[in-house]
Chains A and B, each alone.
Chain A
Amino acid sequence: MEKEQDKILNEVTSGEYKYGFYTDIDNESIPKGLSEDVIRVISAKKEEPEWMLEFRLKAYEAWKKKKMPEWAHLKIPEINYQDIVYYSAPRQKAKLDSLDEVDPELLETFEKLGIPLEEQKRLTGVAVDAVMDSVSVKTTFQENLAEMGIIFCSFSEAVREHPDLVKKYMGSVVPYTDNYFAALNSAVFSDGSFCYIPKGVKCPMELSTYFRINAANTGQFERTLIVAEDDSYVSYLEGCTAPQRDENQLHAAIVEIVAEKNAEVKYSTVQNWYPGNKEGKGGVYNFVTKRGICRGDNAKISWAQVETGSAITWKYPSCILKGDNSSGEFYSVAVTNNHQQADTGTKMMHIGKNTRSIIVSKGISAGLSQNSYRGLVKVLKNASNARNFSQCDSLLLGDKCGAHTFPYVEVGNQTSVVEHEATTSKIGEDQIFYCNQRGISTEDAIGLIVNGYAKEVLNKLPMEFAVEAQKLLQISLEGSVG
């Protein structure tokens, strides 16, 4: 019985990464290495204004003074920052007006990824900004959104077209001095998405960014900035994949969200970077700083993430609850298999009165992987009636993996209530037996149980994402229950 389970598990876990293809597109890259000159080159290539270059250089100075953080429960091989290409763009004509002008190879890539890039697929109702090797390739539905006053474009376009907004909000949530990777990103970021929802506008469709690293030895450093003015609403999706390579690739991104009074922002991620092969070779190092601030009263920011990829994940989407009655949510499923390592969680800073936050984190570890939850809930002195509930569950599939929980709770207000609970367990033999008895194979039973376990989080994802996430869960765990 045990053996058969193992066999099935092996078969299931050996499911290959299906996004591992590489597209042969003519790339325009700069030489490897990082220096002030490289930053100047990047800035010049993007035809940036002077203030942007200054920002980059200041960030570079800050980065040089910082050290690689070591507190995470991760074994990070030394990264040679001089061995990375900091700018690589699909070569294309200066400006694209219609889809026909986009490189057909590129379109094919996105086709393979299942991104509804073409506008005919309007029915899906998703506006996509696709970023390939750091450069935004095509943004769909731009005109439709513009009619409502919504700005949804690539970051470089925003720098050109809406410098005031970018100047006002960039770095206001994640300053370039924030941490090592935020400083690195601020210095060398190449592109990303910018989204602005004006006062009182409810964005009628989900906005989406798709990130893909294509070229070899390239780091991807994108930046996303979402600003939701008073009484507005937006739901934002992010997906990512990378080709299968033996070398490791670096991804260091920043996401900033600003939610003003009564605004609501939902940010959903399905992260599926290449996790490396079964021996732990290759894979993406994913170091991401994501943070949102509820600046006005009654604002709400909600993070939902499904993390299945990356060799190393270092990611803590956080909420600063500054406005009174504002609320933050964090829903996460993190799956690690083979040699993957993940250290992920959230930070909830309660500053305003009556602020509320909820954290639901589900970790699943299999193979030889290490999966950690690390979170901070901090209630400041004046945050009266703050309320937090955190739940972190870990599921262990196999006896060689690890599941860890590192919650930090810091409370300085007597009227607040903070609760944290965590459990760790494995799939019970009785549960599998129950399913087997009813004619469900062990493999399906595992899928069923894992999906049930993650349901609470998957329910928070927009529909088409939830379907993808469910499939991903199954693929990531194939063959891992024993």
Chain B
Amino acid sequence: MSKREETIQHFSGLFKENSSRIEKGSSGLINSFRKEAMDQFRELGIPDRKNEAYKYINLDPWFNTKYKSYFVPEEADFMAASDFRCEVVELESYNKILLNGFSPKDNGTIEGLPEGIWVGSLAEASERFPDIVEKHYARYARNGKDGLIPLNTALASDGMFVHVKKGVSLSKPIQVINLVHSDTDMFVQHRNLIVVEDNAELPMIVCDHALSPQKFLTNAVTEIYVGENARLDMLRVQNEHNNAAKLTHTFIHQERNSNAVSNNITLHGGMVRNSTYHRLNGEGAECNAYGLYLADRWQHVDNFVSIDHAYPNCLSNQLFKGVLDDYATGAFNGRILVNEGAQKTLAYQKNNNILLTDDARMDTKPQLEIYADDVKCSHGATVGQLDEEAMFYLKSRGINKTEARLMLMFGFAHEVIANIKTEALRQRIDELVLQRLRGELSRCANCSLDCDK
């Protein structure tokens, strides 16, 4: 049996053995998708390098490991986890914890949360709001070539559910603190659903952290619906350790005149793969996809973006930047698809990278697929080093080489950070990035886990 079949067998075996356990926590609606999804997974398997979208990433070492736990009991220790405080100290936000892919079942309440917003467990929500969940669940997460998505649909038990009613807006962002913590190696699958109804507005932050040094693999699918004239601002900060792998698939479905921003800041993580899909499903929709990745040692950061222009008069903009040090590898895979009839489309894409060593490596693949003529599309990608003239300028003004280098790198990274709207958060990310570039990222420098050693 080939490795590939072995993995498929492994997961389908897990699915069979644990089906009662997986299904117990979820509603019939969510369970009804599982069987078909598993069949689809058996066909597709775990994507390998032959899959164009996974050409530059090797998932094998992560999927060939046998994890001790796949399905954590619902009663995880939320109390202990709630002691965890995110590094963004001054940030005012509505907090909610997601531990090992599970959310506490507390009827979606957060103190002070305005009327019309519900934030909590997807499993709970699917019982309470079957109409809403049925309308959106498993509707947008579609990619016929990626086996990880049906795998998630088949196995995920819980995740975050956010619902913002028509016309409701928030002054402070919702912050989801996404933690993994376990005594054994663990494979986590969770599923998020976010529904922002017409004319509503949702600022949201997701922070990914690993609390223990065990080997973690997360495969998360997030489906987001942004209604007419609605706005979404989604920021994800990833700061895990070198033994953690994170695979995220975010599907953002945008209706007419909606505006969505997705921003992935990857500071740390053994292997990170962010797939972001924006579907512009109505005239006048606008989306911005940003990403910043700073990788060193043996880390791998992979960003995949797909923008689907289905209607005329939409605008999309992508900006992804990365700095790669040591033996780190990075990949960017961006695709703009302008469908037939999507006239007057404006689509831009930019990917800039800096390599700091000869062992670091960057692969970038910006793509345009255009089937309409009255469009303006452009993409640009560069891989290079810091501008020597700029270095000279700084040095000639008495700034030493190390400091000058740092300043330039920081300036390079700041272009992405500048798009963060919440000021406290922007400042904090700036600090984190600066520390990261100095090579003393708080997480690893002060951490007692010693996961690298």
Contact = CB atoms under 8 A, between A and B. Distances in A.
Contact of A417 (B361, B367, B385): B385
B370 A404 contact: yes
A413 B355 contact: yes
B380 A419 contact: yes
A373 to B, nearest CB: 9
Contacts of A426: 373-375
Nearest to A389: B382
A407 B373 contact: no
B378 interface: yes
Contacts of A73: 369
Interface of A: 71, 73, 379, 381-382, 384, 394, 396-426
B367 A421 contact: no
Contacts of B360: 412, 414
Contact of B366 (A382, A396, A398, A420): A420
B362 interface: yes
A414 B368 contact: no
Interface centre among B341, B367, B371, B373 (most CB of A within 10 A): B373
B385 A424 contact: no
A412 B355 CA distance: 8
A422 B376 CA distance: 11
B359 interface: yes
Contacts of A418: 381-384
Contact of A411 (B362, B370, B371, B374): B362
Interface string B113-128: 0000000000000000
Contacts of B385: 414-415, 417
B358 A413 contact: yes
Secondary structure at the A interface, as helix, strand, loop or mixed, is: strand
26 contacts: A71-B52, A73-B369, A381-B358, A394-B370, A396-B370, A398-B373, A401-B371, A402-B369, A404-B368, A405-B366, A405-B367, A408-B364, A410-B362, A411-B363, A413-B358, A414-B357, A416-B383, A420-B364, A420-B382, A422-B366, A422-B380, A423-B378, A425-B375, A426-B373, A426-B374, A426-B375
Contact of A414 (B356, B370, B377): B356
Nearest to B354: A414
A409 B381 contact: yes
A422 B368 contact: yes
B431 interface: no
Secondary structure at the B interface, as helix, strand, loop or mixed, is: strand
A379 B360 CA distance: 12
B365 interface: yes
Nearest to A372: B369
A407 B382 contact: no
Interface string B15-51: 0000000000000000000000000000000000000
Interface centre among A382, A411, A418, A423 (most CB of B within 10 A): A411
B340 interface: yes
B259 interface: no
Interface string B325-348: 000000000000000110100000
Contacts of B379: 405, 420-422
Nearest to B338: A424
A422 B349 CA distance: 10
A249 to B, nearest CB: 28
Given A396-B373, A397-B373, A399-B372, A420 B363 contact: no
B366 A414 contact: no
A333 B413 CA distance: 37
A478 to B, nearest CB: 17
A410 B363 contact: yes
A416 B358 CA distance: 9
B368 A424 contact: yes
A408 B362 CA distance: 11
A421 B363 CA distance: 15
A411 B381 CA distance: 12
Nearest to A370: B371
Contacts of B362: 409-412
Contacts of B373: 396-399, 401, 426
A424 B358 contact: no
B317 to A, nearest CB: 15
Given A407-B366, A424-B370, 7 more contacts: A402-B371, A409-B364, A413-B358, A416-B355, A416-B383, A417-B384, A421-B381
Q: Sorted from nearest, which 6 A-B pairs have the closest CB atoms?
A: A396-B373, A417-B384, A411-B383, A414-B355, A421-B380, A405-B368
A400 B370 CA distance: 10
Given A405-B379, A422-B380, A426-B374, A412 B368 contact: no
Nearest to B369: A404
Contacts of A404: 367-370
B376 to A, nearest CB: 6
Contacts of B357: 414
A411 B362 CA distance: 5
A417 B376 contact: no
B375 to A, nearest CB: 6
Contacts of B370: 394, 396, 402-404, 424
B376 A425 contact: yes
Given A421-B380, A422-B379, A426-B374, A407 B367 contact: yes
A417 B383 contact: yes
Contacts of B382: 417-420
A414 B358 contact: yes
A423 B358 contact: no
A408 B367 CA distance: 9
B154 to A, nearest CB: 28
Interface in B375-428: 375-385
A424 B371 contact: no
Contacts of A416: 355, 383-384
Contacts of B365: 406-409
A406 to B, nearest CB: 5
B363 A409 contact: yes
B219 to A, nearest CB: 26
A82 B370 CA distance: 36
Contacts of B355: 411, 413-414, 416
A431 to B, nearest CB: 14
A399 B374 contact: yes
B361 A420 contact: no
A419 to B, nearest CB: 5
A186 B335 CA distance: 36
Given A414-B385, A415-B385, A422 B343 contact: no
Given A400-B340, A412-B361, A413-B358, A407 B381 contact: yes
A300 B341 CA distance: 44
Contacts of B341: 399
Nearest to A384: B358
Contacts of A379: 383
A224 B214 CA distance: 58
B163 to A, nearest CB: 38
Contacts of A419: 380-382, 384
Contacts of A394: 368, 370
Contacts of B363: 408-411
Contacts of A384: 358
B383 A421 contact: no
A384 to B, nearest CB: 8
Contact of B377 (A382, A402, A407, A423): A423
Contacts of B384: 416-419
B391 to A, nearest CB: 14
A360 to B, nearest CB: 15
Contacts of B361: 410-412
A364 to B, nearest CB: 12
Nearest to A422: B379
Contacts of A412: 358-362
